[in-house]
Every structure is written in C-alpha cells, then in structure tokens.
Amino acid sequence: MNDLCTVILAAGQGTRMRSKLPKVLHPVAGLPMIAYVIEACRPLQAKRTLVIAGHQADKVKEALAGEAIEFVSQPDQRGTAHALLQAREALDGFDGDLLVVSGDTPLLTSHTLDGLLRTHRETRALATVLTADLPDPTGYGRVVRSETGGLLRIVEELEATPQERHIREVNAGVYCFAVQALFAALQKIRPSAVKGELYLPDAIALLRDRDGGVQACRVPDPDEVRGVNTRAELAEIHRLLWHKTAQRLLAEGVTLLDPDRACIGPLVRIGSDSILYPNVTLEGQTVIGEGTTIYSGCRIRNSTIGDDAVILDGCIIQESQIGDECQVGPYAHLRPKAQLRQRAKVGNFVEVKKSVIGKGSKVPHLTYIGDASIGERVNVGAGTITCNYDGFTKHQTVIEDDVFVGSNASLVAPVLVGRGAIIAAGSTITEDVPADALALGRAQQINRNEFAAAFRSKRQKG
C-alpha cells in the first residue's frame, strides 16, 4: 500500500466572517472547526499531517498545540494551488499519495475520506476529487464532465459560463493526488484571469490526459462537504451537526426528551439508558457513562461523567471528571481539573476548581473549593471557603477522611486538616489541625445585656 500524507488548507482569512478570529478557529460545538477535520483524518493513519497556515498563523498554531501535525507557512494567500506549493519543500522525498482537505469542513467524516482514498488507489489515478450534488450549487466550483461521463475539468463559479453555472455537481474541495504528478502539474498552473490566484482544481485538467488520469468520487451525504464562509453558514453547520449527533445517540440507546433542543457535539460519547432533558449542551470530547441523567440548562465541555450520575439543572462543568453515582447541582460550577470520586455530592451554588473530592464526600451548598484535596466521607458545611490565593501564589488545602467542616468556615491555605477532625462553624483556620481534634477559630463573643432595648429607646426619643 502506498504511503499517505495529509495536507489541511487553513491559511485563508475568511473575510466574509467579519471577524478578528481566523476562520478555521471559529468554534463548532466547543472546538475549533479545524479540530473536526483533523479528527476525520486521524483514522487514515497518514505518515504526516501538514497544516498550511497563513492569516494569523500564530493563533492557529496555539489552538492546535499538542496535535501531531506540522505547520507550513503561506504568508501571501494566492490561492489553493499556491498553498500546496508552499508544502513542496516539506514533502521533498515523499512519493506516495497526498490527501488534501479544507480546514473549514467540520462535517466531513473519516468514512468518506476512506472511500475517496480507496477509489484513488483502486483506479490508480493521478488525481481523485470528491464531488457532491447540491440543490443550490451557488458559491462552489462546478464539475464539468465529458459526454461519456468522464471528468474534464473543474471551473470556479466566477469563471464559469452561464451554462456551466447550471451544473449541480460541485467540487467538494477534497482531493487525493499522486504527489509527484501533482507538483509537476502545479508548476504549470497559471494565475486566474479574474482574481489572479492559482487554483488547485486547474491541476485536474492538466492531469486528465496523462497515464492514470483523474477520477471523481461522489460523497454519499452532500452535507458533509459544506464549508463555512459566513456566520449564517456557521449557524447552519451547528444545526446539521446537532441533528446528526442526536439521531446517532437515539439509535445507540440514549433518551433525548427533546432532540431538537439537544446541542451535542459529534465527538461526545454517551452510554445507553442515559437521559438528557431539553436544552443541554455537551461540547468537545465529553464522555458520559450509562444510566446518567442530565437535567435542563447544563453545559458540559471536555469532561468525563461516570455511570448512574445525576447532574441537576443549570450546572457548568469544564474539563472535569465525575465518578459513578455522583450528584452535582443544581447550579454548580466545576472548573478545570475538578475531580469527584464515586458517590460524591456537590450541591447548589458550589464552585470547585482544581480539586479532588473523595468517595462519598459532600459539599452540599454555597461553597468554594479551590486547589484542595478532600478525602472520603467528608462533610463540608455551607459557606465554607478554601482560601487558596495569597495575592501571589495558589496554595493547597488538604482535608483527610471523615472530617466534619462546620458552616461558614474559612480554611487559609496551605493547611492540613487531619483525619476525623471537626472544624467548628464560623472558624477561620490558619494552622494545621491534628487528627480527631476540634478546631475553633472564632473571635470571643461578648453579650451586653439590655443594650438592644436601650438603643431602640434612644433612637425613638431622637
């Protein structure tokens, strides 16, 4: 089997988006749209993946940090063929197949890309282009075929004749090339008479008459190749994506009480017998176990939730891990690196950040837990705060197993509360508490008898 490299075109400015953000970084269900393209390419196991970056390249690199990709710079955006020419040096010595995709097609699937690659290899073509039949082809390059159905060329809409503009088969902007033949053809492409750009589809006509020729592969679902050039198209992509994901989840045994109001990204995975109430938003690479119930108004991003958990109304959960049989909310906020062990409970108006709450522990309400490690079977009373920041550095609070923290306590980190200790309500704890000790950090209470009655009498006379 031939080697494969992938090139993702992501250099365009996207002027019609009217945005300071590069087009490919506009979020779709919580992730940059280019992240979905990278995910679709991943199962093909290409030897290398190159991203052509131009407009605000630094932002694109920052957003994709950690991905197994290489960047190629296109400082001047002079068309798609010009973009590929920038990758020639990086691909020097490579003699396999080159998959070319656009970074603004977040609905594209690995199944479709695999079909394109198989067609390319089975026919031994020099170039294979993915096409789609659209009811309204406006904005897309048209696929011109011969009388016998062979692929002749691809013409951009601005340069198409009135007759060619009636063609409904369009170029999806996804190609597979024999790389050496491609770069030989790219050298011969001339700038467009209309825009002065070098168009990659012009390579199709140049390769058509060579041994191997060119092939076209129709995409099964035209929605997959929808690009994003405007805010309206971005909104339509969200609608299509949420609908497709909802249908998949219903088929997999997930209950969506109102599928039309389920905003769930395509990378989200949910176990069977889980129930989602209306107006739940699940983003990124969130994973939810079996038998879990999520109530209305929750937004969960890049988090893991175990089996038989309950997430009550109005919770925000980001980059967190929630164990089996946990309960969260209502109106709780779990910030990045929050971890809840099995059967832990975080109640209403509780904020947790970069903390571990142990098995069976409870933080029922009105509490901030930050930079803390809480053991098992701990009860944290209402209004408790872990005071983790001294104005310069974040510090750790450690609460061991079986501790009882009374209401309205302030734990000034760094501090350790030993196993089985009791923190009296209203205490400010600034020193470590030994195991099984009672810690009181209150000011001395003073009662002045009859003071209130005398005060009221004085005010009334005044």
Q: What's residue 2's pLDDT?
A: 65
Secondary structure of residue 67 in the 3-state scheme: coil
Q: Can the peptide bond before residue 278 be classed as cis, meaning omega within 30 degrees of 0?
A: no
**Nearest of 97, 116, 96, 101 to residue 69 by alpha carbon:** 101
Rounded to two decimals, the pTM is 0.88
* Triad 423, 425, 426: Cα angle to 5°: 110
Interior/surface letters 306-315, b for 16+ CB within 10 angstroms, e for the rest: bbbbbbbbbb
Q: What is the DSSP letter of 279?
A: S
Please answer whether residues 398 and 381 qualify as being in contact, where contact means their C-beta atoms are separated by less than 8 angstroms: no
Q: Where are the beta strands (DSSP E) in 134-249?
A: 142-145, 151-155, 169-178, 214-218
Q: What's residue 1's pLDDT?
A: 45
**Cβ-based neighbours of 111, under 8 Å, separated by 6 or more:** none
**Nearest of 257, 262, 322 to residue 287 by alpha carbon:** 322
**Nearest of 427, 387, 388, 390 to residue 405 by alpha carbon:** 427
**Cβ-based neighbours of 50, under 8 Å, separated by 6 or more:** 5, 6, 7, 8, 69, 70, 71, 72, 87, 90, 91
In CATH, what class is 372-462? Answer: mainly beta
Answer left, alpha or beta for residue 14, where phi above 0 means left and psi between -120 and 50 means alpha.
left
* CB-count burial class (<10 Å; 0-12, 13-18, 19+) for 232: exposed
Q: What are phi and psi of 213, to 5 degrees?
A: 60, -160
- For every one of its 462 residues, what pLDDT tens digit does the chain have, with 9 covering 90 and above? 469 999 999 988 778 899 999 999 999 998 999 999 999 999 999 999 999 998 889 999 999 998 999 999 998 888 899 999 999 999 999 999 999 999 999 999 999 999 999 999 999 999 999 999 999 998 889 999 988 888 988 998 888 999 999 999 999 999 999 999 999 999 999 998 778 889 898 998 899 888 878 999 999 899 999 989 899 999 999 999 999 999 999 999 999 999 999 999 999 999 999 999 999 999 999 999 999 999 999 999 999 999 999 999 999 999 999 999 999 999 999 999 999 999 999 999 999 999 999 999 999 999 999 999 999 999 999 999 999 999 999 999 999 999 999 999 999 999 999 999 999 999 999 999 999 999 999 988 899 999 999 999 999 987
CA–CA separation, 201 and 272 (whole Å): 45
* Triad 444, 449, 455: Cα angle to 5°: 110
Q: Hey, which residues does 455 pair with through a beta bridge?
A: none
CA–CA separation, 245 and 265 (whole Å): 7
Tell me the catalytic residues.
Answer: 365
Q: What is the DSSP letter of 444?
A: P
Domain ranges of the chain: 4-225, 372-462
Q: Hey, which residues does 175 pair with through a beta bridge?
A: 100, 129
**Cβ-based neighbours of 52, under 8 Å, separated by 6 or more:** 7, 8, 9, 10, 11, 72, 73, 74, 83, 84, 86, 87
Domain 4-225, CATH homologous superfamily name and number: Spore Coat Polysaccharide Biosynthesis Protein SpsA; Chain A (3.90.550.10)
